[in-house]
Structure 1
Amino acid sequence: MPAKQPIGVFDSGYGGLTVFRSILNELSGYDYIYFGDNARAPYGNRSFQSIHQYTWECVQWLFKQGCPLVILACNTASAKALRTIQQRDLASVDPAKRVLGVIRPTAEVIGNYTKTGEIGVLGTKGTVQSESYLKEIEHFFPEIKVYQQACPLWVPLVENGEHNKPGADYFVQLYLDQILAQSPNIDTLLLACTHYPLMQEKIKAHLPQNINVVGQGDIIAKSLVDYLQRHPEIEQKLTKGNTQQFYTTTDDTADFDHHASSFFGEAVKSAYVSMK
């Protein structure tokens, strides 16, 4: 067994770094490994089978690095791969390991943000088509109405550094108009993609002031704190060397590092991992 037992944080690309940043703010001192499957990103438009296969391959790689706990800091992977991994795959590898997602902890609290009882969910095509948020929010807040809108061009805008430029305004307004057209009573918009926080200020600028825009980073971080308090058998396995390692499946690590620093909020130095 490796000497270090870090917390693994996985995403199909860069977006999970916004969640990782929030986790570090709440849970500093632990060892962490961030793994971005950038070579096969984006996941949003891929099939259920591909998303599950890719996600499970990356989770197993993190297990091999010593991670007893992996966070899927990716809405698409959480929507389309997490349940199968938890209910089937873990038993075949190591039932003592844990894989957590971002949808359920978000659904547990999102109802507290609305006064009208109507919420809009903005996400990738894959997340929206899975209807995971509709099902999970209904479980915790059955009285709340939930509307969804896929925003397929937002992730490419963010990953190409175009999200804060004037050219992005049209596509921000386009999807906001579509979600708000579904109901005039929506007062809360959930950014159900970890890329979207980089666009949060621009999104707010295109909305009436009475509409809340909610990101997931702080929600996931606080949920993880609670999880570790409730599961000391997991928490006690985790090593506390205050280290952060970054890995990516793209062989252009310099490009990854450049983009990743924007999401993470500080310089990133990564290493390449081949999934072939």
Structure 2
Amino acid sequence: MNHPKAIQVNLRAKTPIGIFDSGYGGLTVMKEIVKALPGFDYIYLGDNARAPYGTRSFETVYRYTLECVEWFFEQGCPLVILACNTASAKALRSIQQNDLPLMDPGNRVLGVIRPTAEVIGNYSKTRQVGIMATNGTVASQSYPIEIKKFFPDLDVYQEACPMWVPLVENNEYDKPGADYFINQHIFQLLEKGSKIDTILLACTHYPLLINKIRQYLPLGIELLSQGEIVARSLVDYLERHPEITGRLSLGGHKRFCTTDDAAGFGQSASIFFGEAVIAEKVNL
């Protein structure tokens, strides 16, 4: 007799899509996801107190990311997007294969690398593509490995850009000081592959540098950022997985959380998200 009542309560509960990043960058992905799927509820979590992840070990990134995924599940999220390339590269597979079956086998955790790898070859005519990313993402070799699964004929060249995230997070992304580091890494990447015609910005911070990057990029090179690609992939995923879609609550609510100072997060987050952000601090 109580079973139908329990189902009704569950339907009224908030079960948002969780979007995670070590800091602010994932907001560039969330912005595109919300644009593509405006009706759902969302929670964003930036682990700013422990950022950046890009220079940390695999074990540390895995441990931090798992703690954040557990937090999302506690908030009622049946679906969590790791909108962080470093977390996707260093933690996603272990969480999917080892932890999720024990935590909640009905929930899902997705990343940003596979959706990009599935389509990047469609943009290249020369069959040479470049990946610009953090040290951690480059060291993981995740992009070359995933891309080869879908496009074995592609030559993939990587360039680690360790200064680019600090430039963005210190609000220097559109200042003259950014020019040297942007020009340097574009030059070094194109030295590795002289026929590169497609470059992926494989860090969610990098879209804020896109105008500067285009200043130093030769004509004819396609520049890809991940937000729109990941959003399109998520739309397709939800269409193919009604068992997940049916568990997500509809209301258009957006909740922004950080493990660091909420006021400071809100100010910077507004730049990434493109509209005012009011955040709250949470403890993991």
Name the TM-score, length of structure 1 as normaliser: 0.98
For residues 141-156 of structure 1, the aligned pairs below 5 Å read 141-156=151-166
Q: Which residue of 1 aligns with 2:263?
A: 254
Q: For residues 143 and 40 of structure 2, what CA distance do their matches in structure 1 show?
A: 30
**Alignment size in residue pairs:** 274
1:205-239 Cα deviation digits (max 9, x unpaired): 11111111100000000000000000000000000
Q: How far off is 1:254 after superposition?
A: 1.0
1:125-158 Cα deviation digits (max 9, x unpaired): 0000000000000000000100000000000000
1:175-229 Cα deviation digits (max 9, x unpaired): 1111010021011110000000000111011111111110000000000000000
Q: For residues 174 and 45 of structure 2, what CA distance do their matches in structure 1 show?
A: 26
Q: How far off is 1:268 after superposition?
A: 0.2
Counterpart residue identity of residue 132, structure 2: L
1:18-50 Cα deviation digits (max 9, x unpaired): 000000010001000000000000000000000
- Superposition misfits of 4+ residues, deviation over 2 angstroms: none
Q: How far off is 1:115 after superposition?
A: 1.1
Secondary structure of residue in 2 paired with 1:85: helix
Structure 2 unaligned blocks of 5 or more = 1-9
Counterpart residue identity of residue 210, structure 2: Q
Q: Which residue of 2 aligns with 1:38?
A: 48
Secondary structure of residue in 1 paired with 2:44: strand
Q: Which residue of 2 aligns with 1:263?
A: 272
The answer to whether structure 1 residue 219 and structure 2 residue 229 are counterparts is yes
Q: For residues 74 and 83 of structure 1, what CA distance do their matches in structure 2 show?
A: 14
Q: For residues 122 and 108 of structure 1, what CA distance do their matches in structure 2 show?
A: 17
Q: For residues 241 and 91 of structure 2, what CA distance do their matches in structure 1 show?
A: 23
Q: For residues 32 and 163 of structure 1, what CA distance do their matches in structure 2 show?
A: 27
1:60-86 Cα deviation digits (max 9, x unpaired): 100000000000000000000000000
The answer to whether structure 1 residue 84 and structure 2 residue 94 are counterparts is yes
1:47 aligned to which of 57, 73, 81: 57
- Cα RMSD of the aligned pairs, angstroms, is 0.8
Counterpart residue identity of residue 258, structure 2: T
Secondary structure of residue in 1 paired with 2:159: strand
Counterpart residue identity of residue 245, structure 1: R
Secondary structure of residue in 1 paired with 2:119: helix
The answer to whether structure 1 residue 274 and structure 2 residue 283 are counterparts is yes
Counterpart residue identity of residue 262, structure 2: T
Q: Which residue of 2 aligns with 1:187?
A: 197
Q: For residues 195 and 131 of structure 1, what CA distance do their matches in structure 2 show?
A: 19
- Structure number with greater Rg is 2
Counterpart residue identity of residue 259, structure 2: T
Q: Which residue of 2 aligns with 1:231?
A: 241
Q: For residues 194 and 40 of structure 2, what CA distance do their matches in structure 1 show?
A: 45
Q: How far off is 1:274 after superposition?
A: 1.7
Q: How far off is 1:10 after superposition?
A: 0.3
For residues 1-276 of structure 1, the aligned pairs below 5 Å read 3-250=13-260, 252-275=261-284
Counterpart residue identity of residue 207, structure 2: P
Q: For residues 207 and 222 of structure 1, what CA distance do their matches in structure 2 show?
A: 26
Secondary structure of residue in 2 paired with 1:181: helix
Name the TM-score, length of structure 2 as normaliser: 0.95
Q: For residues 93 and 117 of structure 1, what CA distance do their matches in structure 2 show?
A: 41
Secondary structure of residue in 1 paired with 2:65: helix
